[in-house]
Amino acid sequence: MARVFTDGAEMGDLLFFNSVASNFAVSSAQKRSGDYSYQVPGSGSTPSATKDITGISEGYLKFGWRPVNGNSPNGKVLTWGTTGGTELGSLRYSSASKQFSLYTSTGTWVANGTIVIPALDAWYLIELYIKIADAGALALKIDGVADSTCVFSGDTKPGADTTFSRLIYRVEAAGQQCFFDDLALNDTAGATDNSWCGEGGVIAFDPNESDDDANQWLGQDGNNDDNHLNVDEEPSDGDTTYNEASTSGYLDLYQLGDASLSGKTIRRVFVEARARDTVAAGGQIKLDIKPGSTLYKSSAISLLTTYSRIVGPEYTTNPDDSNPWEDADIDGMQIGQEVV
């Protein structure tokens, strides 16, 4: 599997990103899928959000993008570069032509698109291919259609850097507005998820019942009754409600309700949570799923003393039978966490 990350803003916070600047926010008013999107609200100087990854030389990005009428972005929408701060290229939008352009380095124009964004205040699927090399390449798709002139073959490596490890979702200046959703990135390794990401979104299913299979964690109320009610908020309410445990092997499981995904193709299932260690002791947990009678565990995940985003492995098929996921597999599936 070659998926580097999948995110749909579905937890209602900004913890997916390594850093945010100038009022980059979360919105429930607009969303391409699920309940939330990321909002560039039009205030602050150059609102942006940064996502750092392990460096790759070649990859396929996607994001849902919704420009706002009257305050449309004009300039950089996405930049890619290094965690050291070197910009290797950018995708830019012209509010005049309503088309995208590709740049290398900090401002070397290499291609203009011909596909016109036909209407503002609407969602578009933006996909981008990036290869960092002396003989590199860039290419753009909009709503699954290749923009035949927004392509480039040549030097995408302005210096010595052979990989990109930092993505910045942004606008060029204060007052510009847009929304981002359904962010994903594939690298080119492995037998699957190694090309264009394509259509799709991320939907969160919250626990709706504590399961008697395991209820060993204690809630903030000092008992383990109805523990699902302590972990079903979007966004997380921090220490207002929570479950905690410190004994190795202690497990809590919560049941999901009706997925209602009939007619949709389920590409992957994963558990995501917000968690922290109460003391600086290097605490670890595992995130588990139980689609049937077998419990499948993640590897150990180290916690910080502040709440952070933790994510379990992505299951592209039902691990019980290795068959594609079905709506019925999600209905009543148990998810949870245990102390390492």
Q: Give per-residue pLDDT as tens, 72-103.
A: 999 999 999 999 999 999 999 999 999 999 99
What is the tens place of the pLDDT at every residue in 273-324? 999 999 999 999 999 999 999 999 999 999 999 999 999 999 999 999 999 9
Q: How far apart are CA 36 and CA 182, in angstroms?
A: 10
Encode pLDDT of 8-36 as tens digits: 899 999 999 999 998 999 999 999 999 99
Tokens of 205: 């299913």
Residue at which a domain ends, from 125, 154, 187: 187
The residues facing 6 across adjacent strands are 184
Number of domains in the chain: 2
- pLDDT in the model for residue 207: 92
227 three-class SS: helix
Phi first, then psi: what are they for 128, rounded to 5°? Answer: -140, 130
Residue 19 counted as domain residue = yes
CATH code (residue 171): 2.60.120.200
Task: Tell whether 213 and 117 lie within a shared domain.
Answer: no
Top pLDDT among 208 and 286 is at 286
215 in the same domain as 116: no
Under a CB-based contact definition with an 8 Å cutoff, are residues 19 and 49 in contact? yes
Q: Is 310 within a domain?
A: yes
Interval 201-213 mean pLDDT: 86
302 found inside a domain: yes
**Gap between the Cα atoms of 319 and 36, Å rounded:** 29
Confidence of residue 209 (pLDDT cuts 50, 70, 90): confident
- Does residue 212 have a pLDDT over 80? no
| Domain shared by 175 and 221, yes or no | no
- Residues 259 and 168 both lie in one domain: no
- Is 195 a domain residue? no
Q: Provide the residue range defining the domain that includes 330.
A: 207-339
pLDDT for 51 equals 98
What is residue 196's predicted lDDT score, i.e. its pLDDT? 97
At 106 the pLDDT is 96
In a domain, 198, yes or no: no
Both 246 and 329 in one domain: the answer is: yes
Residue 20 to residues 16, 131, 144, 284, 309, Cα–Cα distance (Å): 10, 26, 29, 26, 15
Residue 112: enclosing H or E segment and its boundaries?
strand 108-112
Please check whether residues 35 and 156 belong to one and the same domain.
yes
- Mean pLDDT value of segment 33-50: 93
Written as one letter, the residue type at 70 is G
Residues 282 and 235 in one domain: yes
Q: Please give the pLDDT value at position 177.
A: 96
In a domain, residue 262? The reply is yes
Residue indicated by tokens 């972990």: 231
Confidence at residue 173, expressed as pLDDT on a 0 to 100 scale: 93
321 belongs to a structural domain: yes
CA–CA gap between residue 179 and residue 161 (Å, rounded)? 30
| Rounded Cα–Cα distance for residues 242 and 218 (Å) | 8
Cβ within 8 Å of residue 51, ≥6 positions away:
5, 16, 17, 18, 166, 167, 168, 169, 183
- Judging by DSSP bridges, how do beta strands 218-219 and 108-112 pair with one another? unpaired
Q: How confident is the model at residue 45 (pLDDT cuts 50, 70, 90)?
A: confident
Angle (CA) 194 81 72, round 5°: 90
Largest CA-CA distance found in the chain, in angstroms, rounded = 62
Q: Examine the pLDDT at 197 and tell me if it is beyond 80.
A: yes
Q: Which pLDDT belongs to residue 43?
A: 87
Q: In angstroms, rounded to a whole number, what is the distance separating the alpha carbons of residues 55 and 214?
A: 39
What local confidence, expressed as pLDDT, does residue 33 receive? 94
| Section 190-215 average pLDDT | 90
pLDDT at 146: 98
Angle at 11 between CA 129 and CA 321, to 5 degrees: 75
Across 197-215, average pLDDT: 88
Same domain, residue pair 177 and 316:
no
Task: Read off the pLDDT of each residue in 145-149 and give the average, rounded to a whole number.
Answer: 98
Beta-carbon contacts of 205 under 8 Å, excluding residues fewer than 6 positions away, are 256, 257, 259, 330
CATH number where 290 lies: 2.60.120
Residues 237-269 pLDDT 10s: 999 999 999 999 999 999 998 888 888 899 999
**Alpha helix positions (H), the chain:** 327-330
> Of 133, 157, 187, which one is at a domain's C-terminal end?
187
> Do 180 and 236 belong together in one domain?
no
- Count of residues in the chain: 340
Q: Look over the chain and give the mean of its residue pLDDT values, rounded to a whole number.
A: 95
Could you tell me if 158 and 244 lie in one domain? no
Q: Do 251 and 170 belong to one domain?
A: no
Residues 14 and 121 in one domain: yes
Nearest to 216 by CA among 273, 306, 285, 310: 285
Residue 193: inside a domain, yes or no?
Answer: no
